Amino acid sequence: MTHNVLVVDDEPKLCDLLASALSQNGITVFTAGNGLHALKVLEVEDIDLVISDWRMPGMDGPQLLAEIKSRFPQLPVIVMTAYSTVKNAVQSMRNGAFDYIAKPFDIDELDITVNKALQFRDILKDNQRMRAELDEHQQFDSLIGDSPSFRRVLHAIDSVRESNATILLTGESGTGKEMVARAIHKHGNRADKPFVAVNCAAIPEGLLESEMFGHRKGAFTGAVADRVGRFMQADKGTLFLDEIGEMPLALQAKILRALQERVIEPVGDPRERKVDVRVIAATNKNLLDAVAKKEFREDLYYRLNVFPIPLPALRERVEDIAPLARHFAHTLGATAGKRITGFTPEALQAMANYSWPGNIRELQNCVERATIVASGAVIEDDDLPAYLFASSPASGAAILSDGSSVPPDLEAALAEVEKAYILAALAQSNGVQAAAAQLIGISERSFWYRLKKLGIHVDKIVR
């Protein structure tokens, strides 16, 4: 490997001597007569090592060392000095020098010191190269998939991650909206600041305002101390508002003001607080339909929809099922103390044939169960839950595969499908509603709403 070394000394004869000695080892040598000239060389040449005199007119060795460590922190510097006191050597090492040599120097000693510094530089370059390759291939961590629909998602993430634009993630429950939000934050310009997630459907309506904006002690019954809200917790970072479509209209107006004016007002405190947050919202609802029904503010919708990213359902990216399943099996197997090496072709085919109404979350739950029950290192089709092998009521093709005519009442047909899923989930979870909601990939609040809408009484289901 060819290396470039910059020698900095106000004595031209010494520069020539060093250039002659180093070039015999295949090193390309650049020279500079002072610190300012050296910095100009560093701006235009790919230098692997700087060898600098300690005492020079104008910008001396210590000053040049400080500039190099500021501008090129991984570039090693060897300091030369005719004043080879322990004090100078120690000072240069403390200030970031790789090593020092004393004038007059021995050529063999010089070669040894230079070789060590260049080996150090090579290691740093290799580490940078490997990190770059890793970032290129695994840029967004656990966002697994190479299907065309998911590549569009990755491209959108890459386009917006460095900006401060508000993002709206849309897609069915379980499609990985929070994972995408975390990836955007982790690889964006606020990565070293907080990421705060709020599930708008999981917090009681009466507590949402306090949860979002905080409150002062005594602002209401039970407010026994001051509380910092989620906006302030996320200051300078990212606030993820999950299931934004479930937010009450009264609070939507205050969220809109916080987004527009970047100020909040804690409950019970008339003083405004400035906040700097990047907001990522997510929903599984059609917000335009909610706007039309007066269930969601139109102005808030357009404030949130600055950069929309629709996430495809798992059934729309079938080619990603196998790599996702392998990823979950590897991580979940390690957690369970098992070494899972893969799936049989029959198991992969069964997963590919299933419609996954709960999307990635359902797939993860399925693989976790299979990992637990698998007797060997390879997951077989017998290890998968039985419902994967039944015809899926979510698929229109399955419903009409017997050649029957299209149902005359679409809403009624969809309600029957929805009811069948909920009853199956309740049966599988032994009537535990929270577990059933998680099984089919919806929130508990949404699950309770569907029970009421469909007239399902849980006490009649549990045996």
Determine the pLDDT at residue 202.
82
Please tell me the distance from the alpha carbon of residue 340 to that of residue 368, in angstroms, as a whole number: 11
Contact predicate 28/50, CB 8 Å = no
**Overall pTM > 0.75:** no
CB burial of residue 132 (10 Å; 0-12, 13-18, 19+): exposed
Beta strands 263-264 and 273-274, pairing class = antiparallel
Ranges in the chain, pLDDT < 70: 1, 83-89, 128-142, 221-224, 391-414, 459-463
Backbone angles phi, psi at 386, to 5 degrees: -65, -30
Cα angle: 413, vertex 419, 423; to 5 degrees: 150
Domains, the chain, ordered by start:
4-135 (3.40.50.2300), 148-312 (3.40.50.300), 317-388 (1.10.8.60), 391-463 (1.10.10.60)
118 Cβ neighbours under 8 A, 6+ residues apart: 3, 5, 48, 49
Determine the pLDDT at residue 399.
42
CB burial of residue 269 (10 Å; 0-12, 13-18, 19+): middle
Determine the pLDDT at residue 83.
59
Convert the pLDDT of each residue in 391-400 to its tens digit. Answer: 444 443 344 4
Beta strands 227-228 and 214-215, pairing class = antiparallel
28-32 sheet: strands from edge to edge: 28-32, 4-8, 49-53, 77-81, 99-102
The residue among 239, 308, 309, 307 whose CA lies nearest residue 278 is 239
What amino acid is encoded at 285 in this protein? Answer: K
Determine the pLDDT at residue 137.
44
Contact predicate 369/363, CB 8 Å = no
CA 21: distance to chain centroid?
50
Angle subtended by helix axes 86-94 and 61-71, to nearest 10: 20
Determine the pLDDT at residue 401.
41
CB burial of residue 242 (10 Å; 0-12, 13-18, 19+): buried
The residue among 37, 38, 36 whose CA lies nearest residue 47 is 38
DSSP secondary structure letter of residue 263 = E
Determine the pLDDT at residue 351.
93
H-state helical runs in 58-98: 61-71, 86-94
Q: Is the peptide bond before 148 cis (omega within 30 degrees of 0)?
A: no
